[in-house]
């Protein structure tokens, strides 16, 4: 069956028609829109459907933000999305709105071996809890638990939990962010904006000299992308230091989540940033920070860690939810 799926983030809104057939799904006719340029989701959906010339009966949208009783409130967009109002506005009665990492969790079953990179084999336990974490415009977290017949996805807003500094550099970073925002969550440092915050802090501290050319490049392009590229290429010492600190922080938070849900089934790292830095995650400080859990360090060695490299996992998961709800309604 074909359904309308959306993956709505703070930077981009991706819409696609997805053909779902059991444990397989294929994305068709995807379009990407700039979220910040739109007053809401409904106008984008109407435009997409009009250009596609298709009429669909089932839709599901994965939204980066908390979703309670079908109402999504986004953290990085000035939108409130009520699935009932959205359904009326786009003319698709069977419309659902879910959290973006709820969608990632549902998308796991549709991934193949080529869609993930393993950076720690570990010793997985069958049907053990699975943790999800991912950085992009924000920081998402979720987990899956086995109910005896299938995995159930549990979305969360764990990315907004308090940021815990581990050393003097991070205490000073935390203090500067607290002066700016009042409260410092994990999302403030482990996200695209977090990369920029770490860069500015390390540059101001003067421990690594800032390159004027790189700073000018950041003014012309996406600054987070510039930092990542120079960090990966080794063409700027400050960007390399930022990327090291970022991956270490991501590893620490991924390890905290693994402990919180006792993720014996593994940890999956998703989001827009991780697929671009897989080599850095494998060889840099990520795993050391992930494992550095004191008396539980030996346990952390046994937790599998994989990076989701398929950029469509959110769309696939949203489509899977739409198809599942269709089957549930149609079944006798």
Domain match, 321 and 277 both? no
CB of 308 closer than 8 Å to CB of 270 = yes
| Mean pLDDT rounded to a whole number for the chain | 95
User: Domain containing 15: what range?
Assistant: 2-107+312-330
Domain match, 100 and 147 both? no
Residues of the chain with pLDDT under 70: 332
For residue 283, what is the domain's CATH number?
3.40.367.20
Domain match, 180 and 83 both? no
pLDDT for position 81 = 94
Domain match, 48 and 193 both? no
Domain match, 153 and 186 both? yes
Domain match, 103 and 179 both? no
pLDDT for position 74 = 87
Domain match, 144 and 11 both? no
How would you classify residue 53: left for phi > 0, otherwise alpha for psi between -120 and 50, otherwise beta? Answer: left
pLDDT for position 332 = 65
Provide the β-strand partners of residue 180.
none
Domain count, the chain: 2
22-29 long-range Cβ contacts below 8 angstroms, 24+ apart = 23/109, 23/110, 24/110, 25/110, 25/316, 25/319, 25/320, 27/312, 27/315, 27/316, 28/2, 29/54
CB of 318 closer than 8 Å to CB of 61 = yes
pLDDT for position 211 = 96
């Amino acid at each position: 069956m074909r359904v309308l799926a959306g993956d709505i983030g703070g930077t981009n809104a991706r819409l696609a028609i997805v053909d779902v057939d059991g444990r397989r799904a294929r994305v068709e006719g995807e379009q990407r829109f700039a979220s910040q340029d739109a007053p809401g989701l409904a106008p984008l959906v109407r435009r997409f459907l009009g250009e596609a010339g298709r009429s669909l009966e089932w839709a599901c949208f994965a939204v980066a933000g908390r979703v309670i009783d079908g109402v999504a409130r986004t953290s990085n967009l000035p939108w409130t999305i009520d699935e009932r109002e959205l359904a009326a506005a786009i003319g698709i009665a069977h419309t659902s709105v879910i959290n973006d990492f709820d969608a990632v969790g549902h998308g796991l079953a549709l991934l193949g071996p080529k869609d993930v990179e393993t950076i720690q084999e570990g010793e997985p336990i069958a049907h053990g809890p699975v943790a999800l974490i991912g950085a992009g415009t924000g920081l998402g977290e979720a987990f899956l638990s086995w109910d005896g017949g299938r995995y159930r996805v549990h979305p969360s807003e764990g990315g907004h939990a308090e940021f815990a500094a581990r050393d003097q550099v991070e205490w000073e970073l935390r203090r500067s962010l607290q002066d700016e925002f009042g409260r410092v969550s994990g999302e403030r440092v482990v996200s695209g904006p977090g990369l920029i915050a770490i860069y500015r802090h390390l540059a101001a501290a003067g421990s690594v000299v800032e390159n004027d050319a790189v700073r000018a490049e950041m003014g012309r392009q996406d600054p987070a992308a510039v930092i990542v590229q120079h960090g990966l290429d080794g063409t700027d010492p400050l960007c390399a230091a930022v990327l090291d600190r970022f991956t270490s922080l991501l590893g620490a938070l991924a390890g905290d989540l693994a402990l919180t849900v006792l993720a014996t089934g593994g940890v999956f790292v998703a989001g827009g940033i991780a697929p671009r830095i897989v080599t850095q995650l494998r060889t840099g400080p990520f795993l050391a920070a992930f494992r550095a859990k004191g008396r539980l360090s030996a346990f952390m060695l046994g937790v599998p860690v994989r990076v989701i490299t398929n950029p469509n996992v959110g769309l696939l998961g949203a489509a899977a939810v739409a198809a599942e709800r269709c089957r549930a309604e149609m079944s006798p």
